[in-house]
Structure 1
């Protein structure tokens, strides 16, 4: 038969167990809160890295070349560019174009003194820009949201005579656009088997 003393001890034991359960639950809640907070921080960090990865993107709409009707080669190249969705403006003064062909490689940079009126490049070391469309936040010298530009440059062997020195028929070409922020756009194509027109579409 249980005495009053035994019942009292049982009651105290129950209280101790109850308090222990509450403490365990509280600790578990704190752990879950900390884990949830860390996961949220990591999620935000990953999202920021993802956004940072696309803020400097550009889109190459198309690539053309001219002077194909004389000498059966292509001497003057044109790239039509715009920003990718959600990207920051691209500083043209920090933009570099590299063209690799089967016979050579060349690097061209922006000629800011040529203006933006569609003037052809004067040398084989620079490119010029014409704004075909100006976006709502347009600024000369930048490719901004809503802008569409025509970027022009001459091939490495361009002579100006129109009778040779360009990229010939059935030649592999790689064009790399470096935007100055570590992002590179690569376009690869092969010139037509027969080049006889003044203006030739190369990509897409």
Structure 2
């Protein structure tokens, strides 16, 4: 039986091809997080060094609520100018009431994401966080492309991250729903402009 979900945050949908920009806090409380909440404190010293600690797949292993330094600051003594975290994971969520499409690959898995940029973030260097930059690795090591039209429609566009184009001094929050044949494994964010990715186990 699938769990119902009351999203904790909703994204404002822009009317451009770039996707989402900005976020609005939802009033309803969501399910209990799968791990500790992300801290509002600046990134701890040593984050840059941790990027070199790669797992066997060449990714940096992150915890739920932990901020991945997607773009470091030009000043090595300053925290990253863009971070991304997975705040919550729900396996087999209940989709919106008027959505009746079953998952094509067996299971929907919903990830609540949070991306935050600092005032020093330079928007002229285009950075997007898009669902097609993610993949899922199953317990047996099999890799899945998790993006399907069915998954994209589960929560509806206003609540779901598909293609965030980042601006300076903004916080973006929303859900990404994937469609995979597994209920556990790892979510990997590996944008095309970097040699390594970040990995969250669920």
Name the TM-score, length of structure 2 as normaliser. 0.23
Name the TM-score, length of structure 1 as normaliser. 0.23
Per residue, is there more helix in 1 or in 2? 1
**CA radius of gyration, larger in:** 1
